[in-house]
Structure 1
Amino acid sequence: MCGIMTEYETVQNRIKNGYVFKDHLDKAIELKPQDPMSYYLLGRWCYAVAQLSWIERKIAATLFGEPPSATVQDALKNFLKVEEIRPKYSKLNYVFLAKCYRDLGQKGQARKMGDAAASMETVSKEDEEAQKELDYLLPALGVY
């Protein structure tokens, strides 16, 4: 719920809820370390934090003393953990793997993950979201 609420919150509340969300994810992983969903969500959190703008980081530092910290490499590590626990877990996991590799300048790996996502069937709303992102991402990677 914390993650969904952020779409409708102010920057201040998004940042505050981001800390709460991260705490919940850390606890979930501690309690159930083989659950791929927790690592997927942590990867999404890390990726979102890595994409924070300068102003969002400044607001977080002002309000909380320290902005949340995560890198694209942190996100990648979590998305790879998902694949380690349960290969082909989700189409969106592959999309985010492709984004991470793209952001890290590893275009070949990004294409490989994009291809893997494209080869999966679209059967859920999450898959539809993944396909929309793929339609934008793959041409930029030179896949289509």
Structure 2
Amino acid sequence: MLKNVLAFAYLLLFSGVLYAQTADELVEQAKQLEKQMNEGVALARYKDAIRIQPDNLTALIGASELCSREGYRQKDSDEKVRNYDEAKAYAEEAIKLAPENADANYVMAVAMGRKALIAGAKEKVAASKEVKKYAELAIKFNPNYAKAYHVLGKWNYEVANLNTFEKAAAKMLFGGLPDGSLASAISNYEKCRKLDPSFVLNYLELARAYKENDEQDKTIEVLKKAVSLRSIYQDDADLKSQCKKMLEGLE
């Protein structure tokens, strides 16, 4: 009897190790697929890893980030929301596992920020404070986190451009929001550029901020640099196309 119990325990232990290794292998496959700019299949691999090992932190973070990107590509608003909600759910699990992990906090900021951009006034304002909180936590746990500075830049840009109704909603819900400014957005974007000069999306957003700030020379400089960059992420080709179109409208 004891021998059977020990054999069964060994089998469970061995199966656990096997599944953990399989999850890790799937995560490595997902990372390679991301490098190949095949993010749809990479996302599927991360989800497979999570099904095998629900507490695989790397898989949860990867799935959250790719769900946010997938949502951004969708044309249908319901599909966008579905992907962003999924991204948030994965981020929540990651933060439960590792509340001081910079990546976990970053993907939460991204998921909430993406959804806020397509939400109504009250939902947008309600999410805004959380986006800032998680972006700042990511920077707290990793002061050189380039993409977290980008999110903070986007937060400043959006808060600086809230319309009258959104400002009224902020005042009603929270007594107002922390100050966000175009100058702070530019500063955050430039910090991101310094830390990660290859991040194409940051160049597009920085150019938009400079353009709104009536700094045409800097807008053109940023756009010219953007179109010369090597594509790293699946959306980079489209982002560079947007930069090129914007540049042609200025020259």
1:93 aligns with 2:202: yes
Please list, as runs of the form range in 1=range in 2, the aligned pairs for 1:95-114 lying within 5 A after superposition.
95-114=204-223
Alignment match, 1:15: 125
The structure number with the bigger radius of gyration is 2
Tell me, yes or no, if the aligned pair for 1:58 and 1:67 is still in contact at 8 Å.
Answer: no
Q: CA deviation at 1:126?
A: 3.1
1:77 aligns with 2:187: yes
Tell me, yes or no, if the aligned pair for 1:60 and 1:68 is still in contact at 8 Å.
Answer: no
Q: Could you list the per-position Cα deviations for residues 28-67 of structure 1 after superposition, in whole angstroms to 9, with x for gaps in the alignment? A: 1111101111101111111111221122112211221113
Which segment drifts farther, 73-82 or 50-59? 50-59
Instruction: Give the gaps of 5 or more residues in structure 1.
Output: none
Alignment match, 2:225: 116
Q: CA deviation at 1:139?
A: 2.7
1:79 aligned partner, one-letter code: Y
Give the structure, 1 or 2, with the largest relative contact order (CA under 8 Å, sep 6 or more): 1
CA distance in 2, matches of 1:126, 1:72: 25
The number of residues matched between the two structures is 141
Q: CA deviation at 1:23?
A: 0.7
Tell me, yes or no, if the aligned pair for 2:227 and 2:241 is still in contact at 8 Å.
Answer: no
Alignment match, 1:140: 249
1:125 aligns with 2:125: no
1:40 aligns with 2:40: no
Q: CA deviation at 1:75?
A: 0.6
TM-score (norm 2): 0.52
Q: Could you list the per-position Cα deviations for residues 107-141 of structure 1 after superposition, in whole angstroms to 9, with x for gaps in the alignment? A: 11110001011111344333144235324422332
Q: 1:128 to 1:52 in 2, by over 3 A?
A: farther
Which segment drifts farther, 110-119 or 95-104? 95-104
Q: CA deviation at 1:105?
A: 1.3
Instruction: Give the gaps of 5 or more residues in structure 2.
Output: 1-110
CA distance in 2, matches of 1:46, 1:39: 10
Identity %: 23
Q: 1:72 to 1:36 in 2, by over 3 A?
A: same
CA distance in 1, matches of 2:237, 2:168: 34
Q: CA deviation at 1:84?
A: 2.0
Q: 1:44 to 1:7 in 2, by over 3 A?
A: closer
1:110 aligned partner, one-letter code: T
CA distance in 2, matches of 1:129, 1:11: 28
Please tell me the root mean square deviation across aligned C-alpha atoms, in Å: 1.8
Q: 1:118 to 1:12 in 2, by over 3 A?
A: same
Alignment match, 1:54: 164
